[in-house]
Structure 1
Amino acid sequence: MALHMVAGEGEDSYAKNSRLQEKAMLEIRPVLEKVVTDVCAAVCPRTMVVADLSTSGPNALRFVSDVIRVTGDCCRRSRRDPPELQFFLNDMPGNDFNSLFRSFARRSKKMAMAPHYVVGLPGSFYTRLFPGRTVHFFHSSYSLMWLSQLPTELQTNSKIHLNEGNIYITTTTPPSVVRMYQEQFQKDFLLFLKLRSKELVSGGQMLLTFLGRKKNSVFH
């Protein structure tokens, strides 16, 4: 079963319930500005390809706006013409791309923005998404803690009850199940890095933000 965020713009939608993700993006904004500036200085592309992996709703708008702003500032300081910006917004096929692009259309009418191009890219980021050496900047905020699948050992009927009633690690989760999730994350993250390393240009960068926990007895 593939899970996805609540679509649309209603009270229960992801677009209206993503304040935690918004807070994270605001906190890392100085890091984002440095990374985009470094890419502009190191690569200086005529066309800059930016991929946002699984950011949706108003946070995707904020990300695109920040990259455009920082790129323009960087080029003005160095007295260079800004590159053309190509944004790829990636998410699972079942997610709501229609609402996302309607919000972009409304935003573009309200404010003048530098020329840029935004397209949707459906698909899992645990697969290849781009041709080799084509992306200058990868961004992912609060997405990579989602695994590619349930740990294999938990997919059998005899063991699925071990974490019954939960879709994440809690204080009642047995240590054996914790290890299964940790091993699955290690496999998934290694795969993610291998895939992105093939797609990233020389001098390109990634900015990845994770949701985690400081301490919990289930890890002891």
Structure 2
Amino acid sequence: MAISWDPYRDNLTLDEISQLGKFLKEEKIRTNIHYVISQSTLKDATHMLSGEYDHYLESFNAVIFLTYKPTGRAQAEDTIQSPHLLQNFLGAVDEPLTSLKIGFDACFVPILLKTTSMDNDLIDSCECGFFSVYIDENMNVSPCSFCNNKIYSYNLKKSSFKNIWQDTFSSYRNYVAQECKLNCFQCEKIDDCRGKCPFFDELFLCDLVSQADEIN
């Protein structure tokens, strides 16, 4: 089970989160916290990695950090924009003081590969369209639930899933293999990563960190 928690938008206090975690653990339900990291929550997420919230979250199985995406009700101005806050968070990822288990969604993988000492063999690059797909209520098949490009959406009423997976998706996979790595040719992790998100430029955090390094 997963509990989505955003302290800036939810009315759940830390005490309430703690009580919920204890109740679920008593019921023998393994539960993760899904925590969205954005410009407004990045500092708080760094505090979490420093161990400040361990007492409240100790009953949960793990904390999974999800990358904020500017779609739906989400506002583009809350995407991660501060190199300083991002570098602090990545430093805490590299040397966490928390006893909590942590994980990340695929959108955060490129920056983890580029800037942390995590074992690359333990990190899967974005699997969308290569290992998994999204099928909506209208039977449209796309590489990702956040896909915003209709040219990579195919309907099961018009084509079989086998044909979509084996043939039609090849154009998407070629695009990712070629276009998404244009800015990554100098990166030593290029062979382990699928590069820039094909749907949201705002998620290319490697570029944000590179700009910070140039300033420093």
The TM-score with structure 2 as length reference comes to 0.30
Query: Structure 1 or 2: larger strand share?
Result: 1
